Amino acid sequence: MILPEDILKEITGLAEAFTKPSDIARIIEMPEEEFLEELRKPDSPFMKAFLRGKLISEAKLRKSVISIACQGSAPAQALAIKLRDELEMNLIKKKLV
């Protein structure tokens, strides 16, 4: 399926704002069930755009937590350690370290 680049960028931007898939479908004027079906396909351009947006925001949040942790925030430090440990466990589980 070939899609206009602006639609994929809009999906990415909306996913960055943690917009629900059903709301994204309404915004891009696509039947909700059709959009959700596309999100169930790992190689779908819709799913790739959606995941890209979600992951970009998650990375920004993690960077923010680390920045605040480095400034001495105890809650941010605890969260940063938790995030680090989760990553380490994931790497071990996938035998990457």
Note down pLDDT in tens along the chain; length 97 residues.
667 999 999 999 999 999 999 999 999 999 999 999 999 999 999 999 999 999 999 999 999 999 999 999 999 999 999 999 999 999 999 999 9
**CB-side exposure of 54: number of CA atoms within 13 Å?**
11
Amino acid 1: pLDDT = 60
- Residue 29 corresponds to which tokens in the numbers above? 């004027």
Residue 57 and residue 33: Cα distance in Å, rounded? 25
Q: Is 76:65 a contact under the CB 8 Å cutoff? A: yes
pTM: 0.86
Long-range contacts of 76-79 (CB under 8 A, 24+ apart): none
Amino acid 3: pLDDT = 75
Residue 57 and residue 35: Cα distance in Å, rounded? 21
Q: Is 91:97 a contact under the CB 8 Å cutoff? A: yes
